[in-house]
Amino acid sequence: MNRQRGLALSALLIWGIVIGLVAILVIRVLPDVIEYYKIRHAVKAVAADSGGKTVSEIRQAYGKYAEVEHIKTFTPAELDVFKQDNQVVVAFSYERRIPLAGNVSLLIEFQGSASARDSGQ
């Protein structure tokens, strides 16, 4: 007698629920992760071109990148610009709270920094 192979209906339903929950989580988190990479790219570009610029000029340059990339989460006023080892460092840090269901939410802390040295100069 041949032994049956396959997946029971109950196992199929459980796997469907698990895959659905993971898909919902990815759909909710992915836009914020994409925006983080846009912010990181803009900060690296601004830091690479920061030689001899003032803090307000660096923030204005980031504002232009943010406008082009449609970055709404992080404003130029929130940038942390300082000097370290005679290099201008542009840093950022922010939190995003993503509601999942009811009173359950996911908190993600994004941060990064760049200097002209990190950008290949």
| pLDDT tens-digit series, residues 88-103 | 899 999 999 999 888 9
The residue extents of the domains of the chain are 32-115
Cα angle vertex 60, ends 57, 66, to 5°? 145
Contacts of residue 31, defined as CB under 8 A and 6 or more positions apart, other chains included, come to: none
Q: Provide the 3-class DSSP secondary structure of residue 116.
A: coil
What is the model's pTM?
0.81
CB 92 within 8 A of CB 116: no
Mean pLDDT of 45-72: 90
Span 5-58, pLDDT tens digits:
777 888 889 999 999 999 999 999 999 999 999 999 999 999 998 878 889 999
Q: What pLDDT, on the 0 to 100 scale, is given for residue 121?
A: 45
